[in-house]
Structure 1
Amino acid sequence: MSEDLPAGVERHAFDGTERLATRGESVYGEPTDGEWRAWNPARSKLGAMLELEVETGLEGGETVLYLGAASGTTVSHVADFSGPTYAVEFAPRPARDLLEAAGSRSRLFPLLADARKPETYAHVVEGGVDAVVQDVATRGQARVALENRRFLADDGRLLLAVKARSEDVTREPADVFAEVCSELEAGYELLERRRLDAYHDDHLGVVARPR
């Protein structure tokens, strides 16, 4: 299988199965192979996008703003292969776990903040980041992406996992996805859309760049 993975993301064998992996300390009990740790796509929307060969535009070494970092499952992998990685999480309990994940990662900077209020962390996150990765469980996911567009470099990328059930549990996911994508076009050019149902029910992966 031909893949275009970011530098620092490789495939390694874990229990006889080839899986995506990054180099770093274990965070959530994932299998390890020496310095390498398995990246579970069933627990990571970005991992699922890479498994499904979505063209994320990530090359490795980027400055990243990660929205919805939770306890650090995915953002710890991102920090393993990226440059400075700002991890925004609103809930105090998972933020404590995020702090632990950051303990061994000098490039990971946890921020206890609300992704819907980027003005609260604008003094920390300088503009011109290479990628905004968004995985937030809230209504108004397009609005969050639009509000955080200010941080993206002109040639940067938005990597968004749209959660249909967080927007409206009563509607068909396809209708929710269409509406969110339409809203995104107010500030982004959409480059790729891919359903993530192979790993995450009722989720859509979106790659976009700022207009």
Structure 2
Amino acid sequence: MGCRILSHYNIHVILPFISIIYLINISFFKYSFKGGNFKNNKQGSGNKFKGGRHAQGKSQKKQHGSSGSNKVVVVPHRFPGVYIAKGKSDALVTRNMVVGESIYGEKRIEVTNEDGEKIEYRMWNPFRSKLGATIIGGVANMPIGIGSKVLYLGAANGTTVSHVSDMVGPTGLVYAVEFSHRSARDLTNMAKRRPNIVPIVEDARQPQKYRMLVGMVDIIFADVAQPDQARIVAMNADHFLKPAGWYIIAIKANCVDSTASPEAVFAGLLPTEHNYVAEVDKLRKENCKPREQLTLEPYHRDHAVVIGQYRVKKKQAS
């Protein structure tokens, strides 16, 4: 009986101490989990992830991108006055005549040559320029070069004219004809800063109206998008193009015949019942001998260019 009382008594005495020890252990465990080594290890892992291999890779990638932009190399194209900027992706460029100025929001590249001279180039967007698309498309011959005198029909606001201005350089000349007064306003403003551009606000169908402004030229480039565009080129060639001079005409299929396929327009396969003659045949009849035809896809849908010579002698034509 005494033993049982002692055991019962001991339990009642010891039990509070056991509870206190249990609470102390629980508190210590919570402290260790929340604020002790486990927390520090977790923070260490987090810092390692944030500042370790992944972060370094991201930093290296950013540095590589910034250094990559400085590794652009500009090399001459096979056509004089045109260049290729080689970087992450190649781009067609021309040397900017007016340093520090963009014409249509195009990017500019500054390159230091071997002599330490800084030269600025302008990106040539083929989607906004049929002549640029012609060069990128792989045309075999490009008559426009340094020192050329060019008559540009359908100059619009001067996007392509500005690149032709770069191509021909200070020794060349570009007569830019545009009928729209709104577009001609932009063209005229641009010409104020480019002395080798002569803006002419006239109808290309009436070359006699600007015959006093234009001298004999080496090349006619036409982007007039009219059904009689071959005739327009021929009339201007009669007035201004030198014998054996070159012409480049951009042809839009639906401007010639909206009912015929573009392939028929360009290849001369128009149905006889439409009473249309292919543009190439029209040019040939006007003493404009075609030398090359090239599609402008995918840069300009349903467009092609025809490059040829005017009044070629028999020996030259053969």
**What TM-score bracket applies, with the shorter chain setting the length?**
over 0.9
Which structure's relative contact order is higher, taking Cα pairs within 8 Å and 6+ residues apart?
Answer: 1
Aligned residues of 1:80 and 1:105 also touching (Cα < 8 A): no
2:107 to 19, 27, 31: 31
C-alpha distance in structure 2 between counterparts of 1:94 and 1:13, whole Å? 33
Which residue is equivalent to 2:44? none
Corresponding position of 2:91: 19
1:130 paired residue among 197, 218, 230: 218
Counterpart code for 2:149: T
1:142 to 230, 247, 250: 230
Q: Are the counterparts in 1 of residues 148 and 219 from structure 2 also a CA contact under 8 Å?
A: yes
Shift of 1:29: 0.2
Q: Distance in 1 between matches of 2:77 and 2:104?
A: 26
The aligned residue for residue 155 of structure 2 is: 69
Aligned equivalent of 2:127, options 26, 42, 51: 42
Is 1:180 paired with 2:274?
no
**Comparing both structures, which one devotes a greater share of its residues to strand?**
1
Q: TM-score, normalised by structure 2?
A: 0.63
**In structure 2, how many angstroms separate the alpha carbons of the residues matched to 1:169 and 1:56?**
30
Q: Tell me the alpha carbon deviations over residues 87-126 of structure 1, each in whole angstroms, 9 at most, x when there is no partner.
A: 0000000111111221221101110011111111111111
Q: Distance in 1 between matches of 2:198 and 2:237?
A: 19
What runs of 5+ residues in structure 1 fail to find an aligned partner? none
Bigger Cα Rg: 2
Query: Which amino acid in structure 2 is aligned with residue 134 of structure 1?
Result: A
Q: TM-score, normalised by structure 1?
A: 0.93
User: What corresponds to 2:116 in structure 1?
Assistant: none
Given that 2:77 and 2:83 are in contact with CA atoms closer than 8 Å, whether structure 1 keeps it comes out as no
1:194 maps to 2:266: no
Distance 1:17 1:102 in 2: 31
From 90, 95, 99, the counterpart of 2:179: 90
Deviation at 1:163, TM superposition (A): 1.1
Cα deviation, residue 39, structure 1: 0.6
Measured after TM superposition, the shift of residue 182 of structure 1 is 0.5
Query: Which consecutive residues of structure 2, in runs of 5 or more, have no partner in the other structure?
Result: 1-75, 111-119, 269-277, 312-318
| Superposition deviation, residue 13 in structure 1 | 4.4
> Cα offset for 1:172?
0.9
1:9 pairs with 2:86: no
Whole-Å separation in 1 of the counterparts to 2:244 and 2:145: 13
User: What number of residue pairs does the alignment pair up?
Assistant: 207
Deviation of 1:32 after TM superposition, in Å, equals 0.8
Deviation at 1:60, TM superposition (A): 2.0
Contact 2:204 2:232 in 1 (8 A): yes
Are residues 1:108 and 2:197 paired?
yes
